[in-house]
Amino acid sequence: MTIRLFELCGTDPKRVFSPFCWRSRMALAHKGLAFESVPWRFTEQAALAFAKHDKVPVLVDGERVVVESFDIARHLDEAYPAAPSLLHGAPEAYRFIGAWTDTVLHAGIAGLVVSDIPAVLDEADRAYFVASREKRYGKTLAEVTAGREDRLPAFRASLLPLRHALRGRDFLGGAAPDYGDYTVFGGFMWARVVSPLELLAADDAVHAWRERMLDLFGGMARATPR
């Protein structure tokens, strides 16, 4: 039974960059499940009509169609209970880390890299992306990321809760990674795939954690085209 994951990509279908799709991609690898990546682009709404949804990730697992990354993680734990757990039977406990990632981490990263995204998109997606994001920000994407090197210290300071949570532990999940790690790591993969900007100082504990995450599953994340 083939598992298919619809993932946002750039012109290159291997260049998957959505932070939410990365959560599902890492979750599937954590479960040891092989999957077929189905490239999807912003303007391919029609391709998701079968799921009655307009965003990725979308997981198709046999007869089941699951949308939203968190629900995909819950589905994987329920459908494959013998494989290593993602949410350890306590899904609610992972919502706060998701809320922090969505509001603090993603907003911080977007403000540093959003102007790098159009270059990785094909023509139709680029027009859609630039128009929709410039409308959201009320300024050009170049203006959003202007002076980004000067804002790196503030971004790095905003990671204090993450740094603090990693004290004395290799992963947010403890000795081994779990869905909390994948939730946060998705943001860093988004930045890594679309932008040359180095978000982290080399001596930051968050940097060491990111290296460990890049090494997981035979270096799956590290091997993704940038």
β-pairing, 3-8 with 58-61?
antiparallel
> Is the CB of 64 or the CB of 95 nearer to a second copy?
95
Site for a second copy contains 165 (CB under 8 A): yes
Q: Which residue of 26, 27, 60, 87 would you call a contact of a second copy, by CB under 8 A?
A: 87
Concatenate the DSSP letters of all residues of 151-208 into one string. Answer: HHHHHHHTTHHHHHHTTT-SBTTBSS--HHHHHHHHHHHHHHHH-----S-TT-HHHH
* Among the listed residues 12, 45, 103, 132, the single contact to a second copy using CB under 8 A: 103
Indicate whether 77 belongs to the interface with a second copy (CB under 8 A). Answer: no
Report the run of H or E that residue 135 belongs to, with start and end. helix 123-137
Strands 64-67 and 58-61: antiparallel
Out of 19, 39, 98, 186, the residue judged to bind a second copy by CB under 8 A: 98
Among left, alpha and beta (phi > 0; psi -120 to 50; other), residue 168 is: left
Element (H, E) at 37: strand 36-40
Cα 134 to Cα 131: distance, rounded to the nearest angstrom: 5
Rounded to 5°, the CA angle 199-5-113 comes to 20
Q: Does 94 bind a second copy (CB under 8 A)?
A: yes
Between 175 and 204, how does the x/- string for binding to a second copy read (CB under 8 A)?
---x-x------------------------
Cβ–Cβ under 8 Å, residues 113 and 191: yes
Listed ranges 6-14, 21-29, 172-180, 215-223: which one lies at the site for a second copy (CB under 8 A):
172-180
Q: Is 206 in the site for a second copy (CB under 8 A)?
A: no
Please report how close the Cβ of residue 179 comes to a second copy at its closest, in angstroms.
Answer: 9
Partners of 58 in the β-ladder = 6, 67
Cβ closest to a second copy, residue 105 vs residue 120:
105
* Least distance from a second copy to the Cβ atom of residue 194, Å: 24
Binding marks (x or -) toward a second copy, 34..73, rule CB under 8 A?
A: ----------------------------------------
- CB atoms closer than 10 angstroms to residue 104: 16
Angstrom distances, CA of residue 31 to CA of 35, 46, 75, 126: 11, 30, 11, 34
The window from 41-49, 68-76, 141-149, 159-167 that contacts a second copy (CB under 8 A) reads 159-167
CB of 123 to a second copy, least distance (A): 34
Q: What is the contact surface with a second copy in residues (CB under 8 A)?
A: 87-90, 92-100, 102-104, 160-162, 164-165, 169, 172-174, 178, 180
